[in-house]
Structure 1
Amino acid sequence: MNPARATRPAILATLAAAALVAFLPAPALAQPVAATYTVHAAGLTVMELNAAVDITEAGYSVEFRTRLRGVASAFGSGELVTRVDGVWQGDAARPRRYTSEGSLRGEPRRTVLEWPGGQPAIRVMVPPNEAERLPVPDAEQRNTIDNLSAIAQLIRQVRRTGRCDGGVRVYDGRRLSSMAATTQGRDAFPAARDEWSGVALKCAFEGRFLAGYRRDEDLEVARRPQFGTAWLAEPAPGQPVVPVRVEAASRWFGTLTARLASAGPPGRLRPVGSQASN
């Protein structure tokens, strides 16, 4: 089995759940937030992740841009861009359109989902899902949302409660999974060059794949839960709270650590760390 084919989607899904599981928009005024993260494994940079979140009282949009770097780029090339736009129905996210576009080892990949009548419908799927994965039964797809809408829903919950507890079932057109997060107090990070320092909220998360497994993977391994931790704080005084560090286990690269490199309004990102404040 090709490690890249089995691992890259799992890594991205785990980081997505962790890296933005509790983005906090500014409490007094809804405004977009952008952040850049570098992802490390065994001391090497393997990925860059750019995130943008815009949550208002009426609706939301979330976008991830990921790019493999260093040794990990041998497993794939290009950029993966995932985006969703949706509205709120009470406390629940209701996605309208979800897109994911990129490439894996030079092969184009594209997914487009819409929600007519509130249920997911695949509009575009490249390559066809049947060739790669076991189908997710229609009954299991009902009353699910995409992973980015799940993130937006948790964001909104954290904004209102100040905690990151919650759980949802998500479907991205290929896989069905569950996400859950719990609050675990606060940790302090000492000052370090080019790294954020201060006291951050600690959130544990767990992800489980429920259906849509790859046809060539070990189902016992695929069903094992994936665990991680995210720490959230203000990148600088007065800025909206964002994850400042995320740690997640992967099956091929060991522990992945995502560190906040810059944050701020879109187009006005500012580096974090002791060097940036000098």
Structure 2
Amino acid sequence: MGNRHLLAGCSALFATLAPADAGATPLVARYEATAGGMTIMQFDATFDLEGPRYAIRIQSRMRGVAAWLASGEQVTSVEGRWEGNHPIPDRYRQEGTFRGKRRVVAIDYAPAGMPQLRALEPPNDGEREPVPAALRQDTMDGLSALAKLVRSVSRTGRCDTTAQVFDGRRRSNYSVRTVSQDVMPASAGYAGPALRCAFESRILAGFRLDQDREAEAKIPHPATAWLGHPWPGAGPVPVLIEMPTRWFGPVRATLVSIASAGSGQAVAQGGAPEAGPRPGQQGR
């Protein structure tokens, strides 16, 4: 997985942060991703999944050695509505830069369930094969798919779910299964019970033109997330995410801070709530 795909892939995974039953107040959070003991990415996120509608916004940026090798940052967002526990996206946007070049994806969703690609920069021409219309029908974006996962965890205590995902360039199938109920040590940045969920995605269409299509279709893209409760009454959030990458080896993304928007209540080391953010937690 290259830097650009790492930026996109991690951004999608952080959509699982949204708690489904923590009340109507949005949550704001920060994660830091490390590889080989060095910080390579940072994520700032705001989530609002309560009520009949939902919204997610994630800002991600390369840091440290990753920024030196290939600078990049992007903002990814989605707005949609719930039909029971199923997310129905209305509008998905991704905008950023990679190695100084602008990258944009804009998707609107028609009532018939066919995503309408409003903008794609740079275009797929010469880079990737097009995704057939039949494979785009009734798909959702990655943020909505993973919001669906957290909704399931909050209501059932398990992470078993699937989704058909189209991100503007690729068409993938997502699957998640429950692995175990673990206890995280304080050294992980959060101490306490956490549900371990195993992710896997497989690309069906939208392969790069310089790839061996059949070989790439057989390659699973795994990740693991541990979801815990940052304070009593809060919904489940990922406290640790691990994913393999081609260039950096295993990447670990750790929850640095989380708070209810406007409340000042932030998670402390070990999972207990504080009266307010610790120095350096917010506003960096």
Q: TM-score, normalised by structure 2?
A: 0.87
1:149 partnered with 2:167: no
Deviations 1:44-81 (A, max 9, x none): 11101122211123111111111000111134324200
Unpaired stretches in structure 1, ≥5 consecutive residues: 1-5
Contact 2:16 2:237 in 1 (8 A): no
- What does 1:20-169 correspond to in 2, within 5 Å? 20-21=15-16, 23-27=18-22, 29-117=23-111, 118-169=113-164
Distance 1:138 1:275, change over 3 A: closer
Q: Report deviation, 1:187.
A: 1.3
Distance 1:137 1:182, change over 3 A: same
The aligned residue for residue 232 of structure 1 is 227
1:119 aligned partner, one-letter code:
M
Contact 2:33 2:41 in 1 (8 A): yes
The aligned residue for residue 265 of structure 1 is 260
Q: Report deviation, 1:162.
A: 1.9
2:220 aligned partner, one-letter code:
P
Q: Report deviation, 1:190.
A: 2.2
Higher relative contact order (CA 8 A, sep 6+): 1
Deviations 1:178-203 (A, max 9, x none): 111111121112223x8211221111
Contact 2:153 2:236 in 1 (8 A): no
- What does 1:172-251 correspond to in 2, within 5 Å? 172-192=167-187, 195-219=189-213, 220-221=215-216, 223-251=218-246
Contact 2:190 2:271 in 1 (8 A): no
1:70 aligned partner, one-letter code:
G
* Aligned sequence identity (%): 40
Q: Report deviation, 1:16.
A: 3.9
What is the distance in 1 between the residues matched to 2:265 and 2:61?
18
What is the distance in 1 between the residues matched to 2:258 and 2:49?
16
The aligned residue for residue 282 of structure 2 is none
Q: Report deviation, 1:88.
A: 1.8
Contact 1:260 1:272 in 2 (8 A): no
- Poorly superposed stretches of 4+, deviation over 3 Å: 16-23, 236-240, 274-278
Contact 1:41 1:255 in 2 (8 A): yes
What is the distance in 2 between the residues matched to 1:91 and 1:240?
15
Give the CA RMSD over aligned residues.
2.3
Distance 1:22 1:178, change over 3 A: farther
Contact 2:149 2:159 in 1 (8 A): yes
Unpaired stretches in structure 2, ≥5 consecutive residues: 279-284
Deviations 1:186-226 (A, max 9, x none): 1112223x821122111111111111112233432464101
Contact 1:76 1:103 in 2 (8 A): no
What is the distance in 2 between the residues matched to 1:251 and 1:223?
16
Distance 1:12 1:167, change over 3 A: farther
Contact 2:55 2:77 in 1 (8 A): yes
1:163 aligned partner, one-letter code:
R
Q: Report deviation, 1:245.
A: 0.3
1:86 aligned partner, one-letter code:
G
Q: Between Structure 1 and Structure 2, how many residues are aligned? A: 271
Distance 1:73 1:159, change over 3 A: same
- Of stretches 218-227 and 241-250 in structure 1, the one that deviates more from structure 2 is 218-227
Deviations 1:14-52 (A, max 9, x none): 43454343643335x232122211001111111011222
Q: TM-score, normalised by structure 1?
A: 0.89
